[in-house]
Amino acid sequence: MKAILSKQEIKDSIRYAALIQSAVMPDISILNKQIPGSFVLFRPRNIVSGDFYWFQRRKNRIAVVAADCTGHGVPGAFLSIMGINFLNLITASTIPPPHKILNQLREYVMKALKQEGCAIERKEGIDMTVCVFDLDNGNMEFSGAFTPVIYFHENNLFQLKPDRMPVGIGPVDEESFTRQIIPFSLMDILYMFSDGYPDQFGGKEEKKLKYTGFRNILSQIQSLPIQNQQSEISESLEQWMGRCEQTDDILVIGINIQSLKNETHSI
């Protein structure tokens, strides 16, 4: 007779899977050493997460990733572990430009999921932001798969637009991702994120916060010391949610570019 797992056994299994996922993702404390002015707000919806963060440093190039896999919970977590392993492989010896990271990652993901471009197949994939900080040249290279980045300079908000295609099979033919380069001198603080925060329901009318509300929150906190920003953005989320339950995995990464400017000058 086939055994039926109890709810508690299923929960225990998922919690153990969360430990495995946590072990695969890089240690946030190491990121804080590489980029002292940084924070990561990581809040899975269902113990394990389809969102993930990742970073790698090779010499004076630092790559940071904010990613959102198809789905959340266990299916998203499986895809996130696959993505992390492929990113480690791509950056094993050097940090390529971000568009090349996305191009190569897409090839790995499509091959692993046996995606051939058929119109009827499922569209599993990853929405992702890749930022590469070049300390030698004092600039940031950005490429995005559906997900933008927001940065501030002299209290003014700017947004870098991503390519409208995922890491994986999409509705359009695969083309090379594009790269945008911004000097550190034109940036003060940068935010990378998934869509979980702006898509969260809450407020008096229990509607989505949307990107307008999310940008307003970032505008309010961007001038605060970086060590205070994570708690502020987390408290703003709780106040917005009110009685609403969390609807998706949530990931926000903040990076104070001044800390990178200081390291650039010290090289």
Q: Are 66 and 49 within 8 A, CB to CB? A: no
Query: Could you read off the pLDDT of 187-236 as tens digits, one per residue?
Result: 999 999 999 999 999 999 999 999 999 999 999 999 999 989 999 999 99
Q: Are 62 and 35 in contact (CB under 8 A)?
A: yes
What's the CA gap between 84 and 90, in Å, rounded? 10
Domain ranges of the chain: 40-266
**Over the stretch 36-56, which tens digit does the pLDDT of each residue have?**
899 999 999 988 889 999 999
Q: What is the CA radius of gyration of the chain?
A: 19
Q: Which residues does 29 contact at the CB level (< 8 Å), separation at least 6?
A: none
- The arithmetic mean of pLDDT across residues 154-175, rounded, is 84
The model's pTM is 0.91
CATH 3.60.40.10 fits 40-266, yes or no: yes
Of 204, 211, 191, nearest to 241 by C-alpha is 204
State the Cα–Cα distance between residues 62 and 36, nearest whole angstrom: 13
